[in-house]
Amino acid sequence: MAKVVLFGLSETTELIHFYLCHDSDHQVVAFTVDEKYLTQKSFCGLPVLPFEEIEKTHPPENYHMGVFLGFRDVNRLRANKYAEAKSKGYTMITYISSKAITWPGAVIGENCYVFEQTLIAPFATLGNNVVALAGCLIGHHSIISDHCFLSARTVVLGCSKVGNYCVLGANSTVKDLVTVADSCVVGVGAEITKNTQPSQVYVSDPPRLLEKSSEQLSRWITWSAGHGKRRNGS
């Protein structure tokens, strides 16, 4: 068991604190943020301390650190704070949900966060500082490089590679044998079927707005027998 200091005061920090408390052997003992953002003395019942001086009160010889931030600045903010924590000498934790599926020999780096129902297939590799939210599929022999963020239900099929600093939106898919170059952003539901160039942004077709309201819609929907019978023409 490691005593852990978490960086951040956001909802995502509260989320990973919950997971660590209920689904790991780690003990979170404090939070830390840059001093200019230190606006409160406690968070989740624990002290909040300035990051600039954290090693004085919680030295890296006795404490580990976790940096769980979102994908702001295409993951650069999380990458920078991860690097700063490393430069202070901290060992970075990795959290893998007990409800995730991994196989022997899985290569998963430090400061990684793998949520429930995520499947990491045999021979897949996750670099450092990677987030994989609930229900992701990381296919066999695929590589997720450093500082990536995979939103819920992301699918990366076998023998694919996702470069550094990539953001993959919820329900996005990377086809097998495809390489996503560094710093690409793949929007919600988008499919990548061929190799990309660095820093490209992909989005899926937007939903189509009907001219009818939801009240009008209920009058002309034809229900199947399995959903009951329509009454009084409604």
CATH of the domain at 197: 2.160.10.10
- In this structure, are 108 and 191 located in the same domain? yes
| Count of alpha carbons within 13 angstroms of residue 139, beta-carbon side | 16
Confidence class for position 217, pLDDT limits 50, 70, 90: low
User: What number is the average pLDDT over the span 78-90?
Assistant: 98
- 173 with 192: CB under 8 angstroms? yes
**Tokens 């068991």 sit on residue:** 1
User: How is residue 163 annotated by DSSP?
Assistant: -
Q: Is residue 228, in this structure, part of any structural domain at all?
A: no
Lowest mean pLDDT of 33-37, 140-144, 167-171, 217-221, name the range.
217-221
Q: Is residue 197, in this structure, part of any structural domain at all?
A: yes
Pairwise pLDDT comparison (10 vs 206), residue with the higher score: 10
- In this structure, are 30 and 54 located in the same domain? yes
CA 51, 90, 14, 107 torsion: positive or negative? positive
Q: Is residue 218, in this structure, part of any structural domain at all?
A: no
pTM for this prediction: 0.89
- In this structure, are 21 and 58 located in the same domain? yes
CATH classification at residue 80: 3.40.50.20
- In this structure, are 180 and 144 located in the same domain? yes
Q: Is residue 178, in this structure, part of any structural domain at all?
A: yes
Q: Which domain holds residue 74?
A: 3-87
Q: What residue spans of 36-106 are helical by DSSP H? A: 54-57, 76-87
